[in-house]
Amino acid sequence: MFLLKPLKPLKPLEPYVPETLSAYDLSLEDWQAWLKENGEQSFRAGQVFDWLYVKRVGSFEEMSNLSKALRDKLTSRFKFVSLKEIARQESKDGTVKFLFELSDNNAIETVIMKHDYGNSVCVTTQVGCRIGCTFCASTLGGLKRNLSSGEIVAQVVQAQRLLDATGERVSSIVIMGIGEPFENYEAMLKFLKLMNHEKGLNIGQRHITVSTSGIVPNIYKFADENMQINLAISIHAPNDELRSKLMPVNRRYPFAELVEACKYYLRTTGRRITFEYALMGGVNDAAEHAQELASVLKDMLPLAHVNLIPVNFVLERDFKRTERDDIFAFQRILEKQNIPATIRREHGSDIAAACGQLRAQHMESQ
Ligand code: SF4
């Protein structure tokens, strides 16, 4: 059997530290320390946090219970806005997709999705992506850089500001936008803690999902964080050979190592893993693939769940969608083997719905 040559593990990326920090780059403890260093009382940190995350003001100037001198100091030391909205697409189903420009002119996407149970926001963690999944538009221009934690936080705050107009709130977060969050691990972790902070947006850990393509060392690390965050693994193939063709990351962290890491996560956390499986017509959607996937996951029951995703059409990529009946047939095979499987509801199919498509269009127009 022909197998693609394994590659060395990826060299970890540097975190991105902006020249001027934004207000959203600081945790409550960071604010306490900064205020203390600047001769202010640390309880002011709670007030700043409240203005940022509860009142969601648009400038330091509006923080009226802080002295004028402190407001001026904050304005000169920190950036307030780190994202500029440059495009917005709204779907008939309520999905809103933003294209934001960062302070270095790079562009990223953020999406609000409407569900029966509330609004979820899908955030981006990197400018581009170096993982190279063959079905993904986000990786087309390669990776430019990691985002700072503040740039990830600001996406949720911007989404919440839009929802404020109708009295709604962000009820859940999925870290499934552009980029591989486990390649920007520390910023992602800081973001998770900020989102979950009771004095901030207070979004429950169980309402946050992080999705990885399979950066194995960080799956172990994440398992040991002792958090209640949901984990999703983009598996997309049931074996080494096919996965290496679809996802070059599999040549760095082979299938068997990924499965071992998942089992460690399950043993350590007792929490379920959702396996994302994008169905691509004639590629990974045959009955044998479903059988093989079931036999890989059966050892992980009852904590394994499969989310079947009808693949989005990407002009630059040559995959066709799996027919509706074949999607159901794939689901039935998994269920027969007691593997719970759901089919992901599509959001924003009338706009550039696939992750990275709007950004790719924007880059082309530059
Ligand atoms: S699917 Fe995710 S990990 Fe893979 S290339 Fe796209 S953004 Fe990167």
Confidence of residue 365 (pLDDT cuts 50, 70, 90): low
The Cα 67–Cα 150 span in angstroms is 24
Confidence of residue 81 (pLDDT cuts 50, 70, 90): confident
Q: Give yes or no for residue 31 having a pLDDT over 90.
A: yes
Confidence of residue 355 (pLDDT cuts 50, 70, 90): low
Closest atom, ligand 1, to C-alpha of 180? 3
Ligand 1 centre to CA of 138 (Å) is 6
The Cα 358–Cα 91 span in angstroms is 13
The enclosing H or E element of 273 equals: strand 273-279
Phi (first) and psi of residue 144, to 5 degrees: -95, -50
Ligand 1 centre to CA of 133 (Å) is 6
| One-letter amino acid of 110 | T
Please report, rounded to a whole number, the percentage of residues in the chain having pLDDT higher than 90: 80
Tens of pLDDT, residue by residue over 282-322, are 999 999 999 999 999 999 999 999 999 988 665 556 778 89
| Under 8 Å between Cβ of 99 and 85 | yes
Q: Which domains does the chain have, with CATH numbers?
A: 23-77 (1.10.150.530), 85-365 (3.20.20.70)
Two tokens, residue 217: 């060392």
Ligand 1 centre to CA of 141 (Å) is 12
- Tell the residue nearest (CA) to atom 7 of ligand 1: 179
> Binding site for [4Fe-4S] cluster: what residues are annotated?
129, 133, 136
The Cα 110–Cα 159 span in angstroms is 8
pLDDT of 311:
81
| Angle at CA of residue 197, ends 192 and 203, nearest 5° | 70
Confidence of residue 191 (pLDDT cuts 50, 70, 90): very high
Mean pLDDT taken over the chain = 92
pLDDT of 313:
60
Ligand 1 centre to CA of 135 (Å) is 9
Ligand 1 pocket, mutate which of 147, 180, 319 (most atoms under 8 A from CB): 180
Tens of pLDDT, residue by residue over 247-258, are 999 999 999 999
Per DSSP, the three-state class of 107 is strand
pLDDT of 242:
96
Q: Which residues line ligand 1 (CB under 6 A)?
A: 129, 131-133, 136, 138-139, 178-180, 213
Burial of 144 per CB tally in 10 Å (0-12, 13-18, 19+): middle
**The one catalytic residue among 40, 109, 183, 276:** 109
109 is catalytic: yes
- Residue 217 preceded by cis peptide, ω within 30: no
> Binding site: what residues are annotated?
129, 133, 136, 179-180, 211, 234-236, 312
Closest atom, ligand 1, to C-alpha of 247? 4
Tens of pLDDT, residue by residue over 157-182, are 999 999 999 999 999 999 999 999 99
198 is catalytic: no
